[in-house]
Amino acid sequence: MENYYKMSDVLSVIRSGIEDLRSSERKVAEYVLKNPETVITLSITDLAEEAGTSEPTVIRFCRKLGLKGFMDLKLGLARDLPSSQYIHESVSEGDTLPRIFNKMLKAAKEAINDTMNGMDMELLEKASQLLASARRIEFYGVGGSGAVARDAQHKFFRLGIPCLVYDDPHMQAMSAALLGPGDVVVAVSHTGSTKDILDSVRIAREAGAAIIGITGHGKSPLARICDVALAVHSKEAALRLAPMTSRLAQLAVIDVLFVSVAMRNYAETKERLNMVKRSLVDKRP
């Protein structure tokens, strides 16, 4: 089953070559064949668990297909979906604007509710404590997660804590190497398996910084190397054209952390925010 990367029908490739796979790889193949739409929404960790195997086995399975990795598998499966569902899971071709409106807001509500019900309050408290006592905070994200990281930095710098945001992997790596004990990195990644983010986080850990991860799964590769992993639940597939419901849930968690840290020293925070407001007076007509 080699050199099939250019073939459009990944499922056909799997069916035709399943007999040539090892028993562990066959478990992955059987799960993918039965649940192709579900696989698109899973992380590599999720798929390994659902198939009853390991992440390295999933990677070997993908390479047997001639794919570069797990994301290529998901993209190949997504090609067979209706184009409208490729944009958003809930939307179907022919939906009217009011129907799209209702479906989108319902999906956003479900993501927020799932995050509320699934959040570990002890981990959230630990994250708040780390941020409140941080000497320096750096926010890391790439792509859509980079926008969430920028929003976080836009809020937290107002508290008087030195903080920066990097969405360029090279800048992340260089800055991470200069961190030390007392510094905190907040890494945002819905999949929790983005290589650039994982590399930057490992460098920051080796330098002595504490790591807070905001990710879509508590068992993702990112979660496993964090001091605190905050699982933001969303049914959204990681390969959609742009993050939607996952982004909203991530932003909500950032807001919770910001307010929590701000309230730990209310008097000082109030004064700092008043200073910020006064600085903007002349900017408004």
Question: pLDDT tens digits for 94-127?
Answer: 889 999 999 889 888 988 998 999 899 999 999 9
| Domains of the chain by start residue, with CATH | 10-84 (1.10.10.10), 125-283 (3.40.50.10490)
* Contact predicate 18/29, CB 8 Å: yes
Strands 210-215, 183-189: parallel, antiparallel or unpaired by DSSP? parallel
Describe the strand order of the beta sheet including 136-140 as a list of residue ranges: 163-166, 136-140, 183-189, 210-215, 228-231
The average pLDDT across 230-257 equals 78
Collapsed DSSP state (helix, strand, coil) of residue 283: helix
- pLDDT mean over 264-285: 82
Q: How many residues does the structure list for the chain?
A: 285
Q: Environment class of residue 160 by beta-carbon count within 10 Å: exposed (0-12), middle (13-18) or buried (19+)?
A: middle
CA-CA distance, 180 to 172, in Å (whole number)? 14
- Tens digits of per-residue pLDDT, 26-74? 999 999 999 888 888 788 888 999 999 999 999 999 998 888 888 888 8
